[in-house]
């Protein structure tokens, strides 16, 4: 394993759409709708949508006490 992977493995946590749905207690369709929505910090690599745990936490903090429509 490279030095980069060893140093970032613990600090960089990436969630798939399925994992995002589990974390936020959403259905699969709602999770994908959220991931594809404007302003949500996701990235598409190949055919997979991903979001970092850090970006998710920051996004949740931004919309705390507010409403976000999907």
Q: Is the dihedral of CA 49, 52, 56, 59 positive or negative?
A: negative
Return the domain boundaries, the chain.
12-62
Q: Which residues contact residue 58 at a Cβ distance below 8 angstroms, ignoring those fewer than 6 apart?
A: 41
pLDDT classification of 63: cutoffs 50, 70, 90: confident
Beta bridge partners of 16: 50
CATH of domain 12-62: 3.90.105
pLDDT per residue as tens digits for the range 9-58:
556 799 999 999 999 999 999 999 999 999 999 999 999 999 999 999 99
CA–CA distance, 56 with 60 (Å, rounded to integer): 6
In this prediction the pTM is 0.76
CA–CA distance, 9 with 24 (Å, rounded to integer): 23
């Amino acid at each position: 394993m490279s030095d980069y992977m060893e140093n970032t493995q613990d600090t960089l946590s990436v969630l798939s759409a399925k994992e995002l749905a589990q974390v936020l207690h959403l259905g699969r369709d709602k999770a994908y709708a959220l991931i594809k929505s404007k302003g949500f910090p996701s990235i598409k690599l190949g055919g997979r949508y991903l979001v970092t745990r850090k970006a998710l936490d920051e996004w949740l903090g931004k919309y705390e006490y507010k409403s976000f429509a999907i």
